[in-house]
Structure 1
Amino acid sequence: MRKAERLFQIIQILRRSSHPVTSAQLADELEVARRTIYRDIAHLIGQRVPIEGEAGFGYVLDPRYDMPPLMLTPEEIEAVLLGVQMVAKLGDPAITNAAKDVLAKIASAIPGDLLPFIAEPAVGLKPGEITNGFAFDTRPLRRAIREGRKMQLDYCAVSGEVTHRIVWPVLLGYADAHSLLIAWCESKQAFRHFRTERIVNLEVLEEAIGVSKGKLRQQWLQWREVELSRSRSTP
């Protein structure tokens, strides 16, 4: 790896980390000696990159530091390509088109010498069937989650019974053969997972859920941990 690429990667590693990164961690990921990391850090600081820390403690990058976001490496481009292929296999048209738009924007912005990594990628997914579990447009679901709004839906159970619910959406999850709306159900006073292909009608309400998205998601994660513990303890 050339020095310029290594310096860029050091900044990337520090930028994605929420805690100090030691020279040993940097050296291990970049496959160089720790003394090389010390020289590189000194060089970056000399170029006025706002890195704080010291050997033995770790290094952090000032979150206000601005760097052009599309200085991509071949590995990062390959990761995006795999992501687009995975999204396409989900069979959700809106998400698939959005992923393709991202790839097109990247292709229009990166240097010409990186274009072959998109046109002739070194990675790829095994061909397979596309999921067909999307009977309705998922965009209202995702909008409600982003905006923290309640949703009103009619849901058809396995038995065929249709129930009317008001829910607080947390996450739209995708699996191999279906997708799930994870939400707090007002009528059940508990978190529930709703198969999207069983949602008969859906309306995003103007009413906010009244809880921050972060807090609601944290409560769901705690609930999920309890449920997983129960399932593991069940003989």
Structure 2
Amino acid sequence: MSRSQRLLTLIDLLRSHRYPVAGKHLAETLEISLRTLYRDIATLQEQGANIEGEAGMGYVLKPGFLLPPLMFNDEEIEALVLGARWVAQRTDSQLSDGAKNALNKIAAVLPPELKNTLDDTSLLIGPSKDTVIDSVNMPEVRLAIRDEKILSITYCDLKDNKTTRRIWPFALGYFDEVRVLVAWCELRQEIRNFRTDRLLTCELEKTRYPTPRHALLKRWRATLHGASTTKAN
């Protein structure tokens, strides 16, 4: 096993434990000496891994993002760049800036030869046939999804019927020509799809909806594999 692969394996081992792991156990699993393990942990810490602990006490990887050098091959870098370019061109300004900043952070931890691959990739995003125009604050919609907050909306359906609703948003689908908000609708008492370009008003409430987002996602995904109860508005 190469050292770069061993470092990635060590990270995976630490990620799989919520509590401190003895250095002896880590060294035995990796089939290395304790001395080598201590050097590897010091290397990962220098590269930004939030590893806490010391010899005799055990080690734990604190939650957070880690992008150690050498973890991407050419195809993975091209996939990251292509995806980030799509987000930068097809989403609202805050998410677009987030994609650009993410690429800058990735570039900062890549060794020179891989950074050149990131800078020089020629995979491009073509122009979209239609520009999606949202009449509501999309960062606020994403915040509602993350924080499991209720949205009060005024919605105009495909027949131009306007209704006022309270919804529990839990997913947002991005397509070239439309964005679709998936939510539990209190008015219809079922999961419904809402095109964001047909949201006339959208107000974020302080109230959290009672069903966890992951449970709503699970319920919605189940409908996609059978007789779907999700209806398009």
Q: What's the TM-score once normalised by structure 1's chain length?
A: 0.69
One-letter amino acid of the structure 2 residue matched with residue 47 of structure 1: L
Residue 46 of structure 2 corresponds to residue 47 of structure 1 = no
Worse-matched range after superposition: 184-193 or 101-110: 101-110
Note the C-alpha offset of 1:161. Answer: 1.2
For the structure 1 residues 135 and 113, does the alpha-carbon distance in structure 2 shift closer, same or farther, using more than 3 Å as the test? Answer: same
Whole-Å Cα distance in 1 between the matches of residues 93 and 104 of structure 2? 16
Whole-Å Cα distance in 1 between the matches of residues 33 and 198 of structure 2? 55
The gaps in structure 2 that reach 5 residues or longer are 18-27, 42-57
One-letter amino acid of the structure 2 residue matched with residue 93 of structure 1: S
Equivalent in the alignment of 1:150: 150
Assess if the C-alpha contact under 8 Å between 1:91 and 1:134 holds in 2: no
Equivalent in the alignment of 2:101: 101
Q: Deviations over 1:51-99 (max 9, x none)?
A: xxxxxxxxxxx99446982214342433321220221342432211110
Note the C-alpha offset of 1:125. Answer: 3.5
Assess if the C-alpha contact under 8 Å between 1:91 and 1:132 holds in 2: no
Identity of aligned residues (%): 25
Q: What's the TM-score once normalised by structure 2's chain length?
A: 0.70
For the structure 1 residues 13 and 128, does the alpha-carbon distance in structure 2 shift closer, same or farther, using more than 3 Å as the test? Answer: farther
Assess if the C-alpha contact under 8 Å between 2:68 and 2:109 holds in 1: no
| 2:66 pairs with one of 57, 60, 69 | 69
For the structure 1 residues 8 and 149, does the alpha-carbon distance in structure 2 shift closer, same or farther, using more than 3 Å as the test? Answer: same
Whole-Å Cα distance in 2 between the matches of residues 40 and 203 of structure 1? 52
The gaps in structure 1 that reach 5 residues or longer are 19-38, 51-61, 231-235
For the structure 1 residues 83 and 228, does the alpha-carbon distance in structure 2 shift closer, same or farther, using more than 3 Å as the test? Answer: same
Whole-Å Cα distance in 2 between the matches of residues 63 and 128 of structure 1? 49
Whole-Å Cα distance in 2 between the matches of residues 140 and 147 of structure 1? 10
Assess if the C-alpha contact under 8 Å between 1:131 and 1:177 holds in 2: yes
Name the count of aligned residue pairs.
197
Equivalent in the alignment of 1:118: 118
Q: Deviations over 1:8-58 (max 9, x none)?
A: 34446667889xxxxxxxxxxxxxxxxxxxx994238872789xxxxxxxx
Whole-Å Cα distance in 1 between the matches of residues 161 and 65 of structure 2? 53
One-letter amino acid of the structure 2 residue matched with residue 84 of structure 1: A
Whole-Å Cα distance in 2 between the matches of residues 229 and 16 of structure 1? 38
For the structure 1 residues 134 and 17, does the alpha-carbon distance in structure 2 shift closer, same or farther, using more than 3 Å as the test? Answer: farther
